[in-house]
């Protein structure tokens, strides 16, 4: 069964600190993995996308890593800001050659405190 | 540039009442359109997707239906709401003929069934 598991469920950090969010997936065959940021009450916005051949992808203070062998990904946030408070969702797309159904994780809710 | 709109932003409806949520996309033609539901602590669940006017695919059996009366308009409906229909509803679009994992989300509608 295609699944995406994220940890931790929630996280509180102080402004300026770094943090790392985890994503494990059992999706096969694998096409790509994307991290989304979702502010409360808003739609998700894409941060990074990686195919199986990519190990790391950065977007400003956000750096995603991918280990396709162990089927794990992480999202590292550097020098956190109050505006980083949001849910971060890991989304995996299986390779199907046609319609690519997205498999969503439940998300990690991050709170950055001053 | 492309934009996606959803309304209403929030809705409180009694059990047994009808529902109509609307999604429109601007700046693109013949997009693929999607309806998702996001329950608290759960990943996004795909409800319906459409590759053209009048073409609707349902992912899960439920109390809801979808219609696409115009190229860039997607409507989510119910004849009689259930308590379990409460949630955050997201509309998304992707480029026709492009990778369907490249989806762009609307701002969402928060539905509370009382």
In whole angstroms, give the CA distance from residue A97 to residue B55. Answer: 20
B16-72, pLDDT tens digit by residue? 999 999 999 999 989 999 999 998 778 899 999 998 999 998 887 678 999 999 999
A106 touches chain B (CB under 8 A): yes
> And the tokens for A68?
């396709």
What residues contact residue B20 under an 8 Å CB cut-off, 6+ apart?
Answer: B75, B76, B77
> Tokens 């770094």 belong to which residue?
A18
Backbone dihedral region for residue A79 (phi beyond 0: left; psi -120 to 50: alpha; all else: beta): left
Interface test with B, best of A2, A37, A102 (most B CBs within 10 A): A102
Whether the CB of A34 is below 8 Å from some CB of chain B: the reply is yes
Which letter does DSSP use for residue A34 in this model?
Answer: E
Is A30 near chain B, with CB under 8 Å? no
Alpha carbon A89 to chain centroid, angstroms: 5
* Tens-place pLDDT, residues A48-105: 989 888 899 999 999 999 998 999 999 999 999 999 999 999 999 887 655 667 889 9
């Amino acid at each position: 069964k295609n699944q995406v598991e994220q940890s931790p469920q929630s996280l509180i950090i102080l402004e300026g600190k770094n943090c790392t969010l985890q994503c494990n997936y059992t999706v096969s065959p694998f096409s790509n993995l994307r991290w989304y940021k979702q502010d409360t009450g808003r739609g998700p916005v894409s941060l990074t996308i990686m195919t199986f051949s990519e190990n790391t992808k950065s977007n400003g203070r956000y750096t995603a890593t991918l280990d396709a062998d162990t089927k794990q990904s992480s999202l590292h946030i550097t020098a956190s800001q109050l505006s980083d408070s949001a849910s971060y969702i890991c989304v995996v797309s299986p390779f199907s050659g046609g319609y690519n159904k997205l498999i969503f994780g439940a998300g990690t809710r991050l709170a950055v405190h001053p | 540039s492309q934009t996606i709109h959803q309304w209403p932003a929030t809705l409180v409806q009694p059990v047994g009442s009808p529902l109509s949520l609307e999604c429109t996309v601007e700046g693109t033609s013949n997009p693929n359109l999607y309806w998702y539901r996001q329950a608290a602590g759960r990943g996004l669940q795909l409800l319906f997707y459409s590759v053209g006017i009048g073409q609707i695919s349902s992912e899960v059996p439920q109390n809801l239906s979808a219609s696409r009366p115009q190229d860039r308009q997607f409507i989510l409906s119910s004849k009689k709401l259930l308590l379990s229909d409460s949630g955050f509803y997201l509309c998304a679009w992707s480029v026709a003929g492009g990778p369907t994992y490249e989806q762009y989300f609307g701002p969402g509608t928060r539905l509370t069934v009382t």
